[in-house]
Amino acid sequence: MLQHRLRSKIAKICIIGLGYVGLPLALRYVEAGFRVIGVDIDQSKIDLLSSRKSYIEHIPSEKIEAASHCGFEASSNFSRVAEADAIILCVPTPLNKYREPNINFVIDTVNAIKPYLRENQIVSLESTTYPGTTEEELLPRVQESGLIVGENIFLVYSPEREDPGNPDYETRTIPKVIGGHTPACLEVGIALYSPAIDQVVPVSSTKTAEMTKLLENIHRAVNIGLVNEMKMVADRMGIDIFEVVDAAATKPFGFTPYYPGPGLGGHCIPIDPFYLTWKAREYGLNTRFIELSGEVNRAMPEYVVNKLIDGLNENGKALKNSRVLVLGIAYKKNVDDMRESPSVTIMELIEAKGAKVDYSDPHVPIFPKMREHHFELASVELNVESLVSFDAVVLATDHDCFDFELIKQHAQLIIDSRGTFRESHSHIIKA
């Protein structure tokens, strides 16, 4: 019986997609005592894992080494699915250029594993997506060969909840929401996740679980949009929005502090709201509140660049032909994750206006290959000589490793989009 195999940890787990979500999950299952196969179409990842090396900064290679000794295998061969009792999909779900959902990675993956599905397996989708994806896209494909979901194969949706670089939470300690296509699916899903996750939160359906993930990230996107708009109003009035948020945060009830920044980044918050706005149109609804926050947040990189232009003008310089250093190009502090980073948009805007742009980010030594952005650059080492050589520096991501005192003393002009420099200085402009 599948539930027994899962609860007794004799089941084999196959995790497809070994990125910032899939790899930590694979390592957690190994740690919990399961045999794990990791599958990814990126052969470079498979080669590194097979060499017992990590490609994610906050996951040390020692963890890959330890997992390998416990039987963890990495492969690009989808036929390995046939060996597994549980298949967990952790593949990307980006937006297309029209900001509409692109679930081709999900569909292509399900199509690739279809020939290898068999009785007494469970398939779990963790990729963020619109409500109805599991029922509309996975269910018919899983049943195509005659298997019956809820009887001899099981289907669940359990949204990923990862926060790279957050030392307070790890895969094991973050509660796991799960919805099954049938009650039997839910029971097997609970048996799948309970041995590896401290708290499993069952909900009534896959649609509910899909909507839960969207609400979590829309909540953040809308509140960040609100505080970014408040930042622009406060700036026009000569008020420091960071001081305002700090003061408001002393209220012990009814207020949650959100801080403004140069825009939204990461694999969830800039993308997930548009999965719901797209699906809502099918029901004749317009999600105006969500879309407005998206407009505000997408405008932030341009707002930062306009502040840069103003600052250079005050120094008698034009942005064109100036040398500008962007500090921090990961989407959040203390990680190497570049997905949807507003820093990259800022770099492109600066370059498009004729300036020479460089970046400094110890977490990203070489600018990586990205689907939509490309710079042939390496991280600039921060020292007195490098700082004084730039006409301006733009603080986009406030990594703890930056020497902010050095930056304050030697940068000619600082555009601070993170509220790092709280005291007023003539050469620091808050953005």
14 annotated active-site? no
Q: pLDDT at position 364, please?
A: 96
Closest CA to 245 of 31, 61, 70, 418: 418
- Per-residue pLDDT reduced to its tens digit, 212-249: 999 999 999 999 999 999 999 999 999 999 999 999 99
Q: Which of 14, 70, 268, 401 is catalytic?
A: 268
Q: pLDDT at position 235, please?
A: 96
Q: What domains does the chain contain, in order, with CATH numbers?
A: 2-203 (3.40.50.720), 214-296 (1.10.1040.10), 299-430 (3.40.50.720)
Q: What percent of the chain has pLDDT over 70?
A: 100
Q: pLDDT at position 76, please?
A: 97
Rounded Cα–Cα distance for residues 274 and 370 (Å): 21
Please give the average pLDDT of every successive group of 10 residues along the chain, which has 431 residues. 95 97 97 97 96 94 96 96 98 86 95 97 97 98 96 97 85 97 98 98 98 95 96 96 97 96 85 90 92 94 98 96 97 92 96 97 92 87 97 98 97 97 91 94
Q: Which helix (H) or strand (E) holds 224?
A: helix 206-236
Rounded Cα–Cα distance for residues 110 and 138 (Å): 7
Query: Positive or negative CA dihedral for 305, 230, 161, 173?
Result: positive
Nearest-5° angle of CA 38, CA 184, CA 6?
A: 40
Prediction pTM value: 0.92
317-323 long-range CB contacts below 8 Å, 24 or more apart?
317/391, 319/350, 319/353, 319/354, 319/355, 320/353, 320/354, 320/355, 321/354, 321/355, 321/356, 322/355, 322/356, 322/391, 322/392, 323/355, 323/356, 323/358, 323/389, 323/390, 323/391, 323/392
Nearest-5° angle of CA 101, CA 258, CA 198?
A: 70
Q: pLDDT at position 164, please?
A: 78
At which residue do the structure tokens 């599948």 appear? Answer: 2
What does each C-alpha distance from 280 to 188, 290, 428 come to in angstroms? 31, 11, 43
